[in-house]
């Protein structure tokens, strides 16, 4: 049984040991509205190609775990209204039943590892939600970073989360959180979270070497690279704070919980910022794709 279905360009690149960057699909189906989601997905792939690497967007299509989508598959997925949101817990059921679903950070890491891809670029990871002491809502992305050896480039955890608690959990799980080129953690739409980053590295080469060192030490799990949004694209923290608070009130008032929380908040913040949050979101993903391509390129030049 073929478990992982590689696209031809991804299979070629992997066979040659050329750099490949994994991409998730939940950001396409649940993170952004049509048609900007498709535009974003295409631009991210092109950015990775421009950076000298091969993009591998990952999704489950009719039961097949696809690593690398062709243009038609990407477009169809971006328009699918009924795609499931797949994390570690649900991907096997979806595949066994022949279903279609988009992979979250956790599920994308699992697929990337199976395919032999070590670098993955996205927007923001899931984390500890505000009020988690009541709701227990902690994303499976954190556990995945602790056990699956993929370096994930994100713009920090989404600011809708409780960043301090997210950092505490990552520390407990032994996940290195590396700010890229600055001392502070970035906070997704904003460059600075007001929280010092546990680790800082300044070059793609250093990040690639640290990834390989973890492997050499036999440590399980990956690394989280927190890459600040480009200056021109950021929305300052003070601007976002009340908007996030409002979106969370609305989520509570509507009884939103579980898997629906993150997509609901992103959509509500999109409405409340009249689309500005989406523009920032797209810019930060592209920025992470650029860094991802650079890290993958460095890694492919290092001994395994
Ligand atoms: N970052 C974005 N948009 C998204 C997500 C992250 O900019 O849509 C998705 C990712 O797939 C991430 C998921 O894994 O949200 C986290 O969902 P949850 O909080 O339910 O674990
Ligand atoms: Mn959750």
Give pLDDT tens digits for 57-91: 999 999 999 999 999 999 999 999 889 999 999 99
Catalytic residues: 24, 158
CB of 31 closer than 6 angstroms to any ligand 1 atom: yes
CB of 26 closer than 6 angstroms to any ligand 1 atom: yes
Is residue 68 left, alpha or beta, with left meaning phi > 0 and alpha meaning psi from -120 to 50? Answer: left
Task: Report how far residue 123's alpha carbon sits from residue 132's, in angstroms, rounded to the nearest whole number.
Answer: 22
304: CA distance to ligand 1 center in Å? 30
| Homologous superfamily in CATH for domain 4-300 | Indigoidine synthase domain (3.40.1790.10)
Question: What average pLDDT does range 155-164 have in this prediction?
Answer: 86
174: phi then psi, degrees, rounded to nearest 5: 75, 30
The helices-and-strands tally (H runs, E runs) of the chain is: 13, 11
CB of 105 closer than 6 angstroms to any ligand 1 atom: yes
198: pLDDT strictly greater than 80: yes
104: CA distance to ligand 1 center in Å? 6
Task: Report how far residue 165's alpha carbon sits from residue 132's, in angstroms, rounded to the nearest whole number.
Answer: 9
DSSP state of 82: S
CB of 162 closer than 6 angstroms to any ligand 1 atom: no
Which class for 72: exposed (0-12), middle (13-18), buried (19 or more C-beta within 10 A)? Answer: exposed
pLDDT score recorded for residue 304: 81
176: phi then psi, degrees, rounded to nearest 5: -70, 130
Q: At 138, list the tokens.
A: 């902690």
51: pLDDT strictly greater than 90: yes
pLDDT score recorded for residue 237: 87
CB of 156 closer than 6 angstroms to any ligand 1 atom: no
Residues tagged in the binding site annotation for Mn(2+): 137
15: CA distance to ligand 1 center in Å? 30
Question: What average pLDDT does range 240-254 have in this prediction?
Answer: 94
Pocket test residue of 262, 266, 277, 286 for ligand 1, highest count of atoms within 8 A of CB: 262
Ligand with smallest separation from the Cα of 160? 1
181: CA distance to ligand 1 center in Å? 24
Task: Report how far residue 68's alpha carbon sits from residue 284's, in angstroms, rounded to the nearest whole number.
Answer: 21
Tens of pLDDT, residues 204-236: 999 999 999 999 999 999 999 999 999 999 998
156: pLDDT strictly greater than 90: no
| Longest CA pairwise span in the chain (Å) | 53
CB 72 within 8 A of CB 31: no
Question: What average pLDDT does range 151-177 have in this prediction?
Answer: 93
CB 45 within 8 A of CB 23: yes
Confidence band, pLDDT 50/70/90 cuts, at residue 158: confident
Pocket test residue of 25, 26, 29 for ligand 1, highest count of atoms within 8 A of CB: 26
Q: At 15, list the tokens.
A: 């066979």
Ligand with smallest separation from the Cα of 136? 2
pLDDT score recorded for residue 160: 84
179: pLDDT strictly greater than 80: yes
Average pLDDT, the chain: 96
pLDDT score recorded for residue 2: 87
Please give the angle made by the CA atoms of 250, 243 and 120, to the nearest 5 degrees.
95
127: CA distance to ligand 2 center in Å? 8
Percent above pLDDT 90 for the chain: 95
Tell me which residue has its CA closest to atom 11 in ligand 1: 104
């Amino acid at each position: 049984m073929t478990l992982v279905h590689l696209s031809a360009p991804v299979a070629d690149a992997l066979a040659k040991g050329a750099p490949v960057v994994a991409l998730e699909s939940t950001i396409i189906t649940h993170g952004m509205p049509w048609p900007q989601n498709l535009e974003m997905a295409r631009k991210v792939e092109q950015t990775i190609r421009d950076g000298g690497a091969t993009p591998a967007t990952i999704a489950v299509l009719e039961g097949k775990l696809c690593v690398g989508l062709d243009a038609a598959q990407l477009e169809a997925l971006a328009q699918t209204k009924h795609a499931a949101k797949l994390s570690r817990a649900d991907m096997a059921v979806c595949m066994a039943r022949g279903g279609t679903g988009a992979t979250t950070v956790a599920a994308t890491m699992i697929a990337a590892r199976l395919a032999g891809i070590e670098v993955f670029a996205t927007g923001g990871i899931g984390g500890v939600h505000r009020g988690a002491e009541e709701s227990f809502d902690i994303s499976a992305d954190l556990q995945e970073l602790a056990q699956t050896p993929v370096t994930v480039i994100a713009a920090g955890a989404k600011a809708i989360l409780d960043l301090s608690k997210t950092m505490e959990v990552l520390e407990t799980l032994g996940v290195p959180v590396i700010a890229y080129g600055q001392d502070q953690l970035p906070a997704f739409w904003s460059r600075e979270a007001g929280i010092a980053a546990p680790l800082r590295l300044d070059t793609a080469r250093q990040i690639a070497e640290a990834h390989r060192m973890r492997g050499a030490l036999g440590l399980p799990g990956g690394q989280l690279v927190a890459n600040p949004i480009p200056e021109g694209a950021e929305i300052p923290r003070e601007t976002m704070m009340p908007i996030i608070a409002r979106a969370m009130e609305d989520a509570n008032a509507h009884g939103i919980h579980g898997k629906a929380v993150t997509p609901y908040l992103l959509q509500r913040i999109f409405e409340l910022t009249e689309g500005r949050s989406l523009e920032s979101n797209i810019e930060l993903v592209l920025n992470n794709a650029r860094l991802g391509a650079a890290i993958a390129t460095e890694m492919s030049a290092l001994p395994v």
